[in-house]
Every structure is written in structure tokens, then in C-alpha cells.
């Protein structure tokens, strides 16, 4: 970060940078150290995936909204489509509300909670110098050795809200995928999931492996097929019977498709 950027951040001065996403100009706020992640398209594959799965009539539920990276992709592709974002980090929530306002994004709902199987409070473990830490997790042992600090956050069951007609559930919650998937399936069992599940790495990571196996079991019980996203363009899907043990970060993004929508989804990747 340049000296002038550090000065602006320390002084709390908000500024805006225009970027081009999907041939549309988006004004990116930079404020209190937040927003830099939006200045570059770190996941071009996600834009293409949403293009294939989405549409103006579709509703996207975003669990783990962070600073709105998926929001920007969704609203530049489908300006009139509904977006629902859940994020327990209130600094990120305030940032995204400003992003929405600045760009006049319509049909957006932002909720300051982490989706879980219980409504209440828990701890969010974050890197101490990153206010918008995209690797923050409510799972204490997920990254136990990198000097994280904890903050109290609010969690909610999705059934506490009236969000029941979404088409796509994007889940990026750094280890807490199991609880989000369970909570989503309580209210809707035919949405398509886009989900990151970080590698187990080895059998020594027993907690990660157990949680991964529980996810696979729940998906099977609810008649979902599991696909790994192959991010080389054009995007491809690789059907799996299990995620297994691996160490490749490029292989940790998946979609879960209900059997009733399997052929429809697969046809979009031909």
C-alpha cells in the first residue's frame, strides 16, 4: 500500500475508484482499509459461473458476503436480479451498504449475521490487522496457528427469515460450510449451491475430514449431485462421488445440484 493510501485510511477519508466489470462501470469505495479486494477481479471463473447459472429472474443467497465481490459480479450481470447477503462482520456490512448505495444497486438485502444452525452469538476468528479478513472463520481450530483474534458476532438460522425462494446459495465461510448447508436445506432443498470447501490435506486433519464427510452425507440424503468446478475457460464440471483428501487450492470450489435440476444445469456447460 502506498504512503498516500495509508494516510487516507488512517484519516478515515472515503474515496471511490471506477472499475469495469462485465462492461459496466462500478464505483468502488475505499474506506477504513476496506474495499481494496474489489479493485481487481481475482475470480473471473465466478463471473462466468454466475453468468451460466443466473438470470434476471433468479435470486442469489450469498453466505459469507465479505466486501461484496460476488454482489458486484451478480449485479453487473443481472441488474434487476435479487441479491441476499449474510455477513457477520459488521464493518463489511457497513461497507457493502455503502457500495450498494453508491452504485444504486436495486433489489439487495444485507443481513449482519452468520448463517448457522443456531440463532445466538459466537466468536469470529480474524487476522488482527485485516478488518475485512476474507479468511475469518467461526471454527476456532480451522487455522489454529496464525495469531488470530476473536470478535463476538451474531448467528442466525435461515428459517428465522422469510428467504425461501432463492435459486442459488453461494457459500464461502471458511470451514463453517456444514452449518450453512444444514440451515439452507431446512428452508429449501432444491437450490443450487456454489460452495468452497478448503482441502483436508491429510488424514491428520480429523476435524476437517469429519465435517467434509458430514457434508457429503447430507448432500446424498437430500438427493444432490456433487461437482468440482474446473476453472479453465471454458468452465467445466467434474462429477464426484466424494471430495476426498487433497492439497490443491485450485480444486476446492464445487457446485451441489439437486437431481431435479441436474440435466438443466449440465446443459449450460456444453
Lowest mean pLDDT among 9-13, 91-95, 217-221: 9-13
246: Cβ contacts below 8 Å, ≥ 6 apart: 199, 200, 201
What pLDDT is attached to residue 223? 98
pLDDT in tens, 162-182: 999 999 999 999 999 999 999
Residue 12 pLDDT grade (very low, low, confident, very high; cuts 50, 70, 90): low
Residue 14 has pLDDT above 90, yes or no: no
Cell of 245: 483428501
Q: What is the DSSP letter of 13?
A: -
Residue 7 has pLDDT above 60, yes or no: no
Q: Which fold has domain 3-267?
A: Rossmann fold (3.40.50)
> Which residue has 487476522 as its cell numbers?
127
CA dihedral 241, 184, 126, 21 (to 10 degrees): 90
The structure's pTM equals 0.94
User: DSSP string covering 108-124, please?
Assistant: EEEESSEE-SS-EEEEE
Q: What is the DSSP letter of 222?
A: T
Farthest CA pair distance, the chain: 54
Q: CA separation (Å) from 195 to 7, 61, 122, 172, 227?
A: 37, 12, 22, 6, 10
What pLDDT is attached to residue 141? 85
What is the chain's alpha carbon radius of gyration, rounded to the nearest angstrom?
A: 18
Residue 65 in contact with residue 45, Cβ under 8 Å?
Answer: no
Residue ranges per structural domain of the chain: 3-267
Residue 109 has pLDDT above 80, yes or no: yes
Residue 8 has pLDDT above 60, yes or no: no
pLDDT in tens, 61-73: 999 999 999 999 9
Calculate mean pLDDT across residues 204-218: 95
Q: What is the DSSP letter of 65?
A: -
What pLDDT is attached to residue 32? 87
Calculate mean pLDDT across residues 140-165: 92
Q: CA separation (Å) from 10 to 3, 98, 241?
A: 11, 19, 50
> Which residue has 432443498 as its cell numbers?
189
pLDDT in tens, 32-67: 899 999 998 889 999 999 999 999 999 999 999 999
What pLDDT is attached to residue 69? 97
What pLDDT is attached to residue 11? 53
What pLDDT is attached to residue 2? 58
Amino acid at each position: 500500500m502506498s504512503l498516500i493510501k495509508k494516510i487516507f485510511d488512517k484519516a478515515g477519508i472515503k474515496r471511490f475508484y471506477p472499475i469495469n466489470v462485465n462492461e459496466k462501470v462500478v464505483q468502488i469505495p475505499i474506506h477504513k482499509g476496506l474495499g481494496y479486494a474489489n479493485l481487481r477481479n481475482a475470480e473471473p471463473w465466478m463471473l462466468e459461473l454466475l453468468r451460466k447459472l443466473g438470470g434476471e429472474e433468479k435470486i442469489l443467497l450469498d453466505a459469507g458476503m465479505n466486501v461484496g465481490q460476488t454482489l458486484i459480479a451478480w449485479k453487473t450481470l443481472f441488474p434487476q436480479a435479487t441479491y441476499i447477503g449474510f455477513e457477520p462482520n459488521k464493518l463489511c456490512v457497513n461497507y457493502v451498504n455503502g457500495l450498494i448505495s453508491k452504485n444504486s444497486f436495486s433489489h439487495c438485502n444485507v443481513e449482519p449475521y452468520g448463517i448457522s444452525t443456531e440463532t445466538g452469538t459466537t466468536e469470529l476468528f480474524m487476522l488482527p490487522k485485516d478488518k475485512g479478513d476474507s479468511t475469518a472463520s467461526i471454527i476456532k481450530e480451522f487455522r489454529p496457528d496464525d495469531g488470530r483474534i476473536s470478535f463476538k458476532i451474531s448467528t442466525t438460522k435461515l428459517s428465522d427469515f422469510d428467504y425461501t425462494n432463492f435459486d442459488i446459495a453461494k457459500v464461502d465461510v471458511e470451514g463453517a460450510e456444514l452449518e450453512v448447508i444444514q440451515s439452507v436445506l431446512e428452508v429449501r432443498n432444491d437450490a443450487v449451491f456454489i460452495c468452497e470447501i478448503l482441502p483436508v490435506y491429510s488424514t491428520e486433519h480429523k476435524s476437517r475430514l469429519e465435517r467434509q464427510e458430514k457434508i457429503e452425507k447430507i448432500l446424498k440424503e437430500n438427493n444432490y449431485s456433487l461437482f468440482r468446478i474446473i476453472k479453465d475457460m471454458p468452465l467445466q464440471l467434474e462429477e464426484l462421488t466424494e471430495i476426498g483428501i487433497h492439497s490443491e487450492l485450485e480444486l476446492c470450489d464445487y457446485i451441489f445440484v439437486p437431481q431435479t435440476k441436474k440435466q438443466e444445469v449440465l446443459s449450460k456447460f456444453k
